Structure 1
Amino acid sequence: MDHRKNIVLIGMPGAGKSTVGVVLAKTIGMQFIDTDILIQERTGRKLQEILDQDGPDAFKRIEEETILSLHPRRAVIATGGSVVCSEAAMAHLKSIGVVVYLKIGYDEMVKRLRNITTRGILLLPGQSLREMYEERVPLYERYADLTAPCSGRDLESVLESVLEAL
């Protein structure tokens, strides 16, 4: 792996991007960036507040602008689950790093998302979790350079599979 490159984690809400990202960054001695936290810092608001007050389109625009402003070196970047909805954001991320898809099944996602209403998950009006899942899977698969299966696995084994994939 090219160590000047960044590692970009993509995947469903609840896949463990932030959790795995922090530990991965520590393990391989890179910095850690969480784009959801960057969005909150930029706007001074929680993700759910942006979604509730401004709607999904505004959220997507803010997310895309935040991603396009990133130019890190040697960082592990945990992205929001909806980042794959922006071609521009994904093109930028692919140009600055290796994209790793943390893959979980639908049932696993539901189990992990107990705090769905406060979590800042981008669901379109009237869209179910199942529909969001079905819509995004092909996008994650399209943009991923590498895929790490994460369903039913603990942090350590997920970390091992990511390191192996890299």
Structure 2
Amino acid sequence: MPGSGKSTVGVLLAKTLGYRFLDTDLLIQQREEALLQDILDKLGVEGFLDVEEAAIAGLDCEDTVVAPGGSAVCRAGAIGRLKELGKVVYLHVPLAELERRVSNITTRGIAMEPGQTLADVYAIREPLYRKYADLTVDVMEKSSLEETVAAVVACLR
């Protein structure tokens, strides 16, 4: 989910494992030469998901921690490619904590339909995250980044 710490934890995890780090949101912005929100505004949610799926489907990397956008689970080609590349880790953050963390919901580039709330997105995606995750790490409100990274490393080993 947006605000779960995928990018921040991903960078630290990559350092811990001695891997490279790739944020697919940044990859999409580079490929499209636009910010995520601008891509969403131009193409709509379905068009954005098409762009995201194509970017992820084209990944070819090893020894890399990949932080996908939270909507990657919405397309079979995207989540399928991530599972081919390695273990999929779900950083589970309770909805109340996500709502506390994400204040810029309308400008952050979150793939959601007009009128949807973060709670609506959570209700749709959370079952998909659980379905596709090889590992789930519960991230509590008071968990430090180091504790979260250590939990992911422990689950991977």
What is the TM-score of this pair, normalised by structure 1? 0.91
Number of residue-to-residue matches in the alignment: 155
Task: In structure 2, list runs of 5 or more residues that go unmatched.
Answer: none
Listed one character per residue, the Cα deviations across residues 132-166 of structure 1 (whole Å, up to 9, x for unaligned) are: 10111100000000011112111011111101111
Counterpart mapping for 1:32-111 below 5 A: 32-111=21-100
The 3-state SS of whatever aligns with 1:114 is coil
Counterpart-to-counterpart distance in 2, 1:29 and 1:128: 37
In structure 2, the partner of 1:113 is 102
The 3-state SS of whatever aligns with 2:114 is coil
Amino acid at match of 1:20: V
Counterpart-to-counterpart distance in 2, 1:74 and 1:30: 5
1:13 aligned onto 2:7 = no
Using CA pairs below 8 Å that are at least 6 residues apart, which structure has the higher relative contact order?
1
Amino acid at match of 1:63: E
Amino acid at match of 2:150: E
Contact 2:105–2:118 (Cα < 8 Å) also in 1:
no
Structure 1 residue 116: Cα displacement: 1.6
Q: Which has the higher strand share?
A: 1
Counterpart-to-counterpart distance in 1, 2:3 and 2:117: 16
In structure 1, the partner of 2:150 is 160
1:133 pairs, out of 119, 122, 135, with: 122
Structure 1 residue 125: Cα displacement: 2.9
Structure 1 residue 45: Cα displacement: 0.2
Amino acid at match of 1:27: T
What is the TM-score of this pair, normalised by structure 2? 0.96
Counterpart-to-counterpart distance in 2, 1:95 and 1:147: 18
Superposed structure 1 runs of 4+ greater than 3 Å apart: none
The 3-state SS of whatever aligns with 1:98 is coil
Counterpart-to-counterpart distance in 1, 2:113 and 2:103: 19
Q: Which moved more, 1:51-60 or 1:63-72?
A: 51-60
Q: Which moved more, 1:123-132 or 1:152-161?
A: 123-132
Counterpart-to-counterpart distance in 1, 2:133 and 2:112: 22
Q: CA RMSD in A?
A: 0.8
Percent identity between matched residues is 49
